[in-house]
Structure 1
Amino acid sequence: MRRKMLTPLAGLVAVALAGLTGCALGAPSPSPTPTASASPTATVPVEAAPTDTPTTVASLPGSALMRVSVTAAAAGEEVRLELTFNRAQTGVIAVDAFEAVQEACPNAITSQLELFPGLEPTGVITSDLSMVGDWPEGMTVAVAAGGVIASFGEGRSVADTQDDPGAFGCTVPIVTGMGPAEFTSLLLGDPAVTDRLDLEAQVADGIFGFESDAGSAVEVRWVDCVIQLSSAAQRLSTEFGWTLPAQWGDGCVIGNDGTV
């Protein structure tokens, strides 16, 4: 699954200037030649097509790391999705979320720790999903919740987490319909490194936003992708070379795609 984002562009205004032609001094004056006057023709007023309402977003809260918003359209319906990421926190501070993701995804976490020897669960990044519109029947959407170790979601329209050995139920949460939701992604750290640096490094490797779900019964068209970055997220994006939305295959996503 690959993701895609829209970067709003400022509108361009073209202005045409009419040129003026002057008369040369001393040239003979041409004699006017009478011509038959043309009969006036009736003009039909042309109605201008209505312009699309521009996408507007609220300002990013000071406590947020970033916000990803996009319209998902399918089967003649569309819904505006908005995912706001909170700043990463240690397990000591975000105790409930830290414990919840470990309880929901023990097998996924164990398998990932085998790939990252020497690291341990250190903190979480959480996000809140809201939506407005009509959910297209049969559509399911995948959420890139920020972490790459284990993620799960809670909400009436979030698919149940499947954490069987060898499964990928804790990799990318799936949303199946209308309703608010919350997501939690586990972040690892090196015991020898300060937690703040650990969490920043993990966030720098994260992926954030929405992408198409292979199991969706309908094909999704992504429209008006807008990503708002805090100053901290902007710095990480620049420093670690995040892949921008327009460079992903589909969806509305930003983050580290794993390429060098």
Structure 2
Amino acid sequence: MPILGQNIDDWSIRAQLKTRIEAECGAVDEVLDYELCFYDVQHASVIGLDRSLFAAARLDNLLSCYVGIEALLAADGETTALMVCNDHEEVGSLSAVGANGPLLTRVLEQLEPDPARYRAMIEASFMISCDNAHGIHPNFSDRHDDNHGPLLNAGPVIKINSNQRYATNSLTAGYFRTLAQRCGVPVQSFVVRTDMGCGSTIGPITAGETGIKTLDVGVPTFAMHSIRELAGCADIDYLQTVLTHYFSRYQASDVQG
């Protein structure tokens, strides 16, 4: 629980908010409504004896959004590419702007309004769903299967789950491994322990909504969902390198069933 102070005369959130707004923006007559969240305001830091670790708030999943945007900007523009950053992933994705909403499908339908050509476009498409993966935390190493424990700074992680909590299959994983090999980037895999529940991503949701071949991959991190998360600096570069190649060189013929 957050600590806001001690011995405050008026604990009314509306009154406190009105006071803050007036101090920063000028007088207001009334606060009609509000959406408030607490979040860490410390700057991100590169840490470690060899400065190989990156600590920041909300790495899950602002890190993937940043890497994806940088990769798209660095691409050569020769291949048609689209990036979508959805809100509300952590609360189920069912909203107007969530992955379980109509946003992506409507954009794709605007790009190709002809139904037959739209279906052909979907069939020729490939989606990489990027969301951070759980690295082996030294305090909780027993939570991982011995053969599937991602290490920081050892490459992006392909996430696999037979219950479709992740959208990866052998076809989409094989394609990503091929991309990584072409770029000289190492790749890891993650499968949750069979006696533990598995989280999910927007990958299965979007794949189910659109019918596009999908892979789930992400940068391994420590302390996911904590106020301060930790990732490897090299993994950020690794993932950006592969995504830039993907945005520049994707060909439907490269992914064969």
TM (normalized to structure 1)? 0.23
Q: Which has the larger radius of gyration?
A: 1
Q: TM-score, length-normalised on structure 2?
A: 0.23
More helix by percentage:
2
Q: Which has the higher strand share?
A: 1
